[in-house]
Structure 1
């Protein structure tokens, strides 16, 4: 690790390594998603291309970048690549996966029995507890603080399998908040309307910046004994490296909050339009002209007329009678 070449802009884009557990997870998720889309198409049903693209590019793509790019190559010798890795897994990848709506795809593509099982798991008490907005937000915050301010992170740097467990831990913690807010409304409380969800996303963006602020301003080195021992000669001061990592965490957290909020607002607008269309159709059905009472074969059917027509007609009749 100490013999790694200096991390330049070119190596940031060209240095890659294979992480077998992460690669297997990406392959499994991608294969299941493709199976669901193909199953729907065979039945003649449509699945939005934008959702599939978000799942593949922003979701799975972020997983690959976080676990196999230069960030993974250099995370054992520099703190800031590890910090960027973790925030990508905790915030960006869950957003991409949620925009792809894999649970919605599963409920449509699976046979009735399988879809019922998925639905029971998603709406079960335990899942409702973990996806309750305030609980899931707290879990994300506690997860990030636990990673950096307990021996968890430094131990993960020493033990490869625990490093992969940490990856999965961060990903799942992020998904517990993002997925229900964007796609699985049935697991949220009734009061969690779109305006409330927009407020929660704004609040979550503020909270997500807290770990970065703490990391950047913390006087004690995080995993200091590890990075002091493994820092290459070309690396910045370890304290400076930690400050860079904290700053990157804050920047990414704030950048992610904006598209997340925009996705909620777009979803809110679509829901409002759908409700408006449904209301218009119901009103049209309720205001269908009543069937006329037939008094004779040649009699013209009465129809519902606006008040100004009937009022003018009544006035005209009174004038005619006075004459």
Structure 2
């Protein structure tokens, strides 16, 4: 399979506000659980350092991962890396309780500021390169939330502003208050609902696109097809990974597996290469807890796909044949987080 940890990772502009990042980022969420058991701090630090040594400089976390533990872990890793060469993204806006596990979305100016100060402290840094509103608080005008973020930019605590899972109208209104550098959304071969409106809008406004779960939460890496999903994983209750839906979705995996052989790659590499080929303004952030998977992800940059290849790969995953909802809109996995990993910080 096409694994090559000597691949040079290109640098790209994310949005038109000046942020430059590695074309492939690293999503840190999984290092503190959700998909698998949390890794030991030293192992998490090791994989972040390894990713950096291989050319990945764009690292993504959030205050709700853990909760809080992920930022602490990333902060420990940053202490062993040159800060000026890292593009650090974190998020605010989701809070909640452990017992019962509940999710609360907050976007008031006071909360924005307190969340930023707390993240800076946990990460042990003076500034955040890209600060996202993780989810939009519909009870607060987006203009007020972005207005406070604008102040944080003016104070040097935040360099660039992002939105996650925002509607087209919210993106437009936010961008009118202060330029939005990036929008983070789920985007993969089997989750493509952003293509109709959000991608064209971002390109019109000069906003970069950061796809999370570009491997379909590990599905295209064979999770639930070639290996079983851990019982303590959020995926054990994800509609696409269980029962009849999974049996139907295995057909999709098999088609991608067949096409991958043609491109001398693994199914995961082909799926990730498809996302990477969606444009220079697209920077996916797959995460992993294993060095071999990190190397395979980097190897996906060697998979070259022409227009006909991209269409063939797209056509192998007809959206109307994907069985089960993606469930992310309900943030089930973050409720899982609160229920299974009580805050320690």
Q: TM-score range by the shorter chain?
A: under 0.3
Of structures 1 and 2, the larger Rg is shown by 1
More strand as a share of residues: 2
Give the TM-score taking structure 2 as reference length. 0.24
Give the TM-score taking structure 1 as reference length. 0.25
